[in-house]
């Protein structure tokens, strides 16, 4: 899985990834974002996840996103999901994440 | 009310008695009438006798009178000796001892020109002595001016020589009511005087009143032979005067000589003579009217009540006796009937009831003899029944064994071929009696060809069942040898004919299907048309040409119908027990109702279809007893299913391999992308579950099977790890705010949402989770 993290402005992070957010990849995906935020000299509060290349998300992926949301929410930050396909969005809807996540 | 023997016999007895009593009553009335007539007649005879006596007295008096007249004549013609004449008169009176008095009276101056009154009069005094009374030939009495004298003189003629005077009260000597008879004394045709005889009326009347019936006519009247309160009338109708009467409502003395009109009840002699009774002062009197020789009439009125007193009493007694008998006889009849008929019947009934309840009782009844015989017959019958019951029980147990044998001869385990996913088959038979003539069967005739059939043997009960077993065995035996449907059915028919000595015949519907291709041959041997449902369509009757039933003609020709079953198609076969199932009003379930019922069933599970069908029939027939075997066989073609299997060690490293296997399968089967995604999602969750939790202490495998049927994908996971049923895990709260969200539990929840059906079982130490997805 390819993951690209890009700083946007002072406090923003834009994550692009391609492939499956599954058992194998989700943890890696989450860890990379977490590390980036921790390593950044600036306080990162706005994270945007680009899903245009993500083909699959399982409960493992959902868990990672929930954890990220909780972390940012604690810092009054914002988590945005971008270009989520209908098929993937359905997974968010099933577990009720669409009620608090921001989709663009 | 009148249904019992008791009441019927009682009614017959009462009717008979009523008829008898009526007859007897009629006889009584008739005989009473006759008796009364006889009595009246008898009184009449008494009257006649009395009248004759009166007549005799009158003749006696008249003879006496003639004697006196002759003396007068002699006196006139001879020397006119007074002394001699007195003596002769005395002698005549002696000759007529009944005469009270009488005399000879000459016309004035007839004997002597100087002597106006010449008469002789004699009477009988109280001492029965004859006294010559001379005081009548005096100026004082002046007999020619007396009424009686004038009356006689004026009436007598030479032709009518005896005249009776009106009655008069004589106050000179006898002081009684008298009637005087007078006759003229003629000398040479010249009237010279009259002779008279007195007749005292009182004794006549007195005697008349004491009239009684002749003795010895009816012995019962002897008791009181005098009739009370009767009265008499003595009169002269021609001259219209009353001589005497002792009518209790009139003053008899005053009425003497008066007109008969003064008697209220008197009409005329002739009328009274023919009248049966007159009503007088509220009482009925029977009049007896008689004429006496000298023109007088005599009427005696006897009170009817008195007259018929004894007759009426006698008949009243008779009626009372009859009524008593009328009460006593039915009572006796009722009591004796109760004792000799009803009680034994009741006893027998009671015993029969006890016997019918299964009590073992010996009947003991010694009398009356007929019932004793009946009781012993009862006893014999009871023993016979016991024997029959025993026999029956034995037969019934044999029948139920036959039933078990028969049922066990039909395949009854469903699904019969669990490993064959290409089709589902379900059949059931509910016999009407203990053993039926219906049967069904199915088996593989070769590796891919399944034969199924439903059949109905004509007739019912044991013989039909035995024949059915033969046919069933024959068919299964022959079908193993001969696979070409036409030849197969012809062989079966021939063999059935050969084995058919009792002219049974069998209707059958059979199908032979190649389960790999769905090609099916259907043979209809005089059976009900099957119904077919194409996938996504409705049930329709399959319009097959009907062949002749099996066992009729040995050389019969059979036409085979060919069709192709597509995955999802259902064929419904049955026997006429369904279409001919009847309700209480005899209306049949019918072919149309069968079609409609099947089309109303939405489920495609064939066991459910069968169950719903049975319920519909039961609901339709309700309490009416099942008249025929109800048999159905449902076949559903699923088509060939394909299976992909994955079996590897349960480690995360194998995940990639796992999902590529899944993707390859989905691609090969051209599954839709959406379905592929769902399968992917579920696969990952379950894979992870097994990898992380199934084997905490050892290494193990994960086995996944992906099966494609005509309408679904079945995804099955097996592991031999610790027992774990993921379906028992509670669902996470998907409405909770993110802060409260748990990390775990989401995976299973998502699977539940995505799969159309999910089931878990633990079998052979394995967790088996099966997900089904509709295509």
Residue-level length of chain A: 104
Under the banding of pLDDT at 50, 70 and 90, the label for residue B529 is very high
Instruction: Give residue for tokens 């009374």.
Output: B133
* Same domain as B238, residue B174: no
Say whether pLDDT at B212 is over 60: no
Whether residues B429 and B448 fall in one domain: yes
> DSSP 3-state assignment of B529?
coil
d(C-alpha A51, C-alpha B138), whole Å:
194
In B, which residues are within 8 Å of A59 by CB distance? 685, 746-747, 750
pTM value is 0.48
Mark yes or no for CB contact A24/B674 under 8 Å.
no
> How large is the average pLDDT for residues B273-301?
85
Task: Select, from the ranges A35-49, B48-62, B360-374, B657-671, the one with the highest average predicted confidence (pLDDT).
Answer: B657-671
Structure tokens at B29: 């009335």
Q: What is the pLDDT of residue B418?
A: 87
Specify the number of domains making up chain B.
4
- Share the mean pLDDT of chain B: 85
Contact (CB<8Å) B655/A91:
no
Last residue of a domain, one of B597, B617, B637: B637
The answer to whether residues B275 and B153 belong to one domain is no
Residue with token string 């000459």: B106
Assess whether B467 and B519 both reside in one domain. yes
The CATH number of residue B156's host domain is: 3.30.450.20
Chain length of chain B: 775
Identify whether the C-beta of residue B152 lies closer than 8 Å to the C-beta of residue B180: yes
Q: Are residues B685 and B706 in the same domain?
A: yes
Neighbours of B213 (CB within 10 A): 22
With 90 as the cut, is the pLDDT of residue B687 above it?
Answer: yes
Q: Which of A23, A67, A73 sits opposite B652 (nearest CB)?
A: A23
Please report, for chain A, the start and end positions of each structural domain, with discontinuous segments joined by +: 17-80+97-104
Question: Average of pLDDT values for A18-24?
Answer: 89
> In terms of residue numbers, what domain contains B464?
410-637
Q: From B592, B612, B637, give the residue that closes a domain.
A: B637
Same domain as B568, residue B506: yes
| Local confidence band at B378 (pLDDT 50, 70, 90 cut-offs) | confident
Is the confidence at residue B89, as pLDDT, over 60? yes
Q: What is the pLDDT of residues B436-483, one digit of tens each?
A: 678 999 999 988 899 999 999 887 777 778 888 888 998 999 998 888
CATH number at residue B762: 3.30.565.10
Q: Does domain A17-80+97-104 have CATH number 3.90.1150.10?
A: no
> Do B151 and B250 sit in the same domain of this protein?
no
In angstroms, what CA-CA distances link B191 with B72, B79, B80, B106? 11, 19, 17, 9
Let me know if residue B377 belongs to a domain: no
Higher pLDDT, B624 or B494: B494
SS3 content of chain B, % helix, strand, coil (to 5): 45, 25, 35
pLDDT digits (tens, 9 = 90+) for B58-71: 888 888 888 899 99
Distant-in-sequence, close-in-space partners of B162: CB < 8 Å, separation ≥ 6: B62, B65, B156, B181, B182, B183, B294
Quick one: B611 and B488 in the same domain? Answer: yes
- State which of B151, B174, B195 marks the end of a domain: B195
Q: Are residues B19 and B158 in the same domain?
A: yes
Q: Which of B545, B595, B710, B700 is nearest to B642 (CA)?
A: B710
DSSP string over B89-146? HHHHHHHSTT--EEEEEEPTTSSBTTBS--EEEEEE-TTS-EEEE-TTSSTTT-GGGS
- Residues B272, B166, single domain; the answer is no
Q: Which residues contact B38 (CB under 8 A, 6 or more apart)?
A: B217, B218
Record: contact A95-B655, CB cut-off 8 A: no
| Nearest one of B4, B8, B2, B10 to B336, comparing CA atoms | B10
Check whether residue B77 and residue B211 sit in a common domain: no
pLDDT tens for B228-255 read 677 888 888 888 888 888 888 888 778 8
Domain with residue B283: its CATH number is 3.30.450
Distance CA B523, CA B527 (A): 9
Q: Are B291 and B297 in contact (CB under 8 A)?
A: yes
Q: Which of B74, B133, B84 is nearest to B106 (CA)?
A: B74
What angle in degrees, to the nearest 10, is found between the helix axes of B655-668 and B673-689? 150
Contact B684 A23 (CB under 8 A): yes
User: CATH code at B569?
Assistant: 3.60.40.10
Rounded alpha-carbon distances, angstroms, from residue A16 to A4, A11, A33, A37: 5, 17, 11, 15
Q: Which of A58, A66, A73 sits opposite B685 (nearest CB)?
A: A58
Q: What is the mean pLDDT of residues B514-524?
A: 93
Nearest chain B residue to A91 by CA: give it. B750
Which residues from A are below 8 Å from B687, CB to CB? 23
B573-592: per-residue pLDDT in tens?
999 889 988 887 778 889 99
Same domain, B692 and B585: no
**How far is B676 from chain A, CA to nearest CA, in Å?**
11
Phi, then psi, of B532 in degrees rounded to 5: -130, 140
Which residue of B lies nearest to A65 if distances are taken between CA atoms? Answer: B743
User: Best residue in B747, B754, B755 to probe A by mutation, most A CBs within 10 Å?
Assistant: B747
Dihedral over Cα of B78, B82, B83, B84: its sign:
positive
Instruction: Give the pLDDT of residue B608.
Output: 93
Instruction: Give the one of B677, B684, B746 whose C-beta lies nearest to A95's C-beta.
Output: B746
| Residue B728 maps to a domain | yes
Q: Which parts of B627-733 are beta strand (E)?
A: 630-637, 642-649, 701-708, 712-719
Across the interface, whether the CB atoms of B688 and A60 are under 8 A apart is answered: yes
Residue B122: φ, ψ to 5°? -125, 150
With left for phi above 0 and alpha for psi between -120 and 50, is residue B759 left, alpha or beta? beta
């Amino acid at each position: 899985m390819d993951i690209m993290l890009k700083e946007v402005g002072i406090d923003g992070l834009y994550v692009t990834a391609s492939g499956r957010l599954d058992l194998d990849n989700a943890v890696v995906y989450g860890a990379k974002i977490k590390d980036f935020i921790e390593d950044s000299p600036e306080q990162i509060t706005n994270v945007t996840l680009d899903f245009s290349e993500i083909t699959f998300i399982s409960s493992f992926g959902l868990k990672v996103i929930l954890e990220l949301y909780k972390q940012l929410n604690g810092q009054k930050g914002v988590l945005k999901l971008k270009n989520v396909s209908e098929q993937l969005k359905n997974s968010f809807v099933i577990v009720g994440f669409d009620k608090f996540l921001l989709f663009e | 009310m009148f249904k019992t023997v008791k009441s019927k016999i009682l009614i017959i007895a009462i009717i008979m008695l009523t008829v008898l009593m009526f007859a007897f009553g009629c006889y009584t009335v008739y005989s009473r009438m006759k008796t009364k007539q006889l009595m009246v007649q008898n009184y009449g005879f008494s009257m006649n006798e009395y009248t004759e006596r009166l007549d005799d007295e009158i003749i006696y008096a008249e003879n006496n009178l003639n004697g006196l007249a002759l003396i007068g004549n002699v006196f006139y013609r001879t020397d006119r000796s007074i002394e001699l004449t007195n003596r002769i008169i005395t002698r005549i009176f002696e000759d007529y001892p009944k005469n009270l008095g009488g005399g000879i009276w000459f016309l004035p101056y007839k004997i002597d020109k100087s002597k106006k009154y010449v008469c002789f009069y004699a009477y009988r005094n109280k001492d029965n002595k004859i006294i010559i009374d001379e005081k009548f030939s005096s100026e004082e009495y002046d007999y020619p001016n007396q009424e009686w004298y004038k009356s006689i003189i004026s009436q007598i003629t030479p032709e009518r020589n005896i005249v009776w005077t009106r009655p008069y009260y004589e106050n000179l000597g006898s002081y009684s009511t008298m009637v005087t008879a007078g006759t003229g004394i003629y000398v040479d045709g010249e009237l010279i005087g009259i002779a008279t005889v007195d007749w005292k009326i009182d004794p006549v009347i007195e005697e008349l009143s004491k009239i009684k019936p002749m003795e010895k006519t009816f012995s019962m009247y002897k008791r009181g032979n005098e009739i009370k309160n009767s009265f008499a009338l003595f009169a002269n109708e021609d001259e219209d005067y009353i001589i005497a009467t002792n009518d209790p409502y009139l003053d008899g003395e005053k009425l003497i000589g008066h007109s008969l009109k003064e008697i209220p009840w008197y009409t005329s002699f002739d009328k009274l003579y023919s009248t049966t009774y007159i009503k007088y002062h509220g009482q009925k009197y029977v009049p007896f009217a008689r004429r006496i020789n000298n023109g007088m009439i005599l009427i005696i009125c006897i009170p009817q009540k008195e007259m018929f007193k004894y007759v009426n009493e006698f008949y009243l007694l008779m009626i009372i006796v009859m009524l008593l008998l009328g009460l006593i006889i039915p009572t006796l009849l009722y009591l004796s009937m109760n004792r000799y008929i009803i009680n034994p019947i009741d006893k027998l009934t009671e015993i029969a009831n006890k016997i019918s309840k299964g009590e073992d009782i010996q009947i003991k009844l010694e009398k009356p003899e007929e019932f004793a015989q009946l009781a012993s017959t009862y006893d014999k019958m009871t023993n016979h029944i016991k024997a029959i019951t025993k026999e029956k029980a034995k037969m019934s147990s044999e029948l139920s064994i036959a039933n078990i044998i028969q049922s066990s001869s039909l395949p009854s385990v469903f699904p019969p071929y669990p490993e064959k996913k290409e089709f589902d088959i379900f059949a059931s038979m509910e016999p009407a009696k203990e053993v039926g003539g219906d049967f069904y069967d199915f088996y593989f005739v070769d590796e891919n060809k399944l034969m199924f059939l439903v059949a109905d043997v004509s007739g019912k009960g044991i013989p039909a069942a035995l024949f059915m077993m033969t046919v069933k065995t024959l068919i299964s035996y022959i079908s193993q040898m001969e696979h070409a449907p036409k030849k197969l059915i012809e062989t079966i028919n021939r063999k059935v004919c050969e084995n058919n000595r009792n002219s049974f015949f069998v209707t059958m519907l059979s199908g032979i299907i190649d389960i790999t291709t769905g090609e099916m041959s259907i043979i209809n041997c005089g059976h009900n048309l099957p119904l077919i449902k194409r996938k996504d369509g409705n049930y329709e009757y399959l319009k097959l040409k009907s062949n002749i039933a099996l066992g009729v003609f040995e050389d019969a020709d059979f036409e085979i119908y060919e069709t192709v079953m597509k995955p999802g198609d259902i064929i419904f076969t049955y026997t006429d027990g369904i279409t001919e199932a009847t309700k209480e009003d005899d209306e049949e379930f019918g072919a149309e109702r069968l079609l409609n019922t099947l089309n109303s069933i939405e489920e495609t599970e064939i066991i459910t279809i069968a169950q719903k069908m049975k319920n519909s029939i039961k609901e339709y027939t309700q309490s009416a007893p099942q008249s025929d075997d109800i048999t159905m066989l449902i076949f559903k073609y699923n088509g060939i299913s394909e299976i992909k299997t994955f079996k590897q060690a349960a480690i995360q490293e194998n995940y990639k391999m796992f999902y590529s296997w899944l993707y390859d399968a989905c691609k090969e089967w051209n599954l839709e992308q959406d379905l592929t995604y769902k399968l992917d999602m579920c696969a990952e969750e379950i894979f992870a579950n097994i990898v992380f939790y199934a084997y905490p202490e050892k290494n193990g495998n994960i086995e996944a099977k992906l099966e494609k049927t005509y309408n679904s994908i079945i995804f099955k996971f097996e592991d031999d790890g610790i027992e774990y049923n993921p379906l028992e895990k509670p669902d996470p709260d998907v409405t909770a705010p993110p802060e409260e969200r748990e990390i775990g539990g989401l995976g299973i929840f998502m699977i539940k949402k995505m799969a159309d059906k999910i089931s878990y079982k633990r079998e052979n130490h394995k967790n088996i989770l099966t997900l089904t997805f509709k295509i």
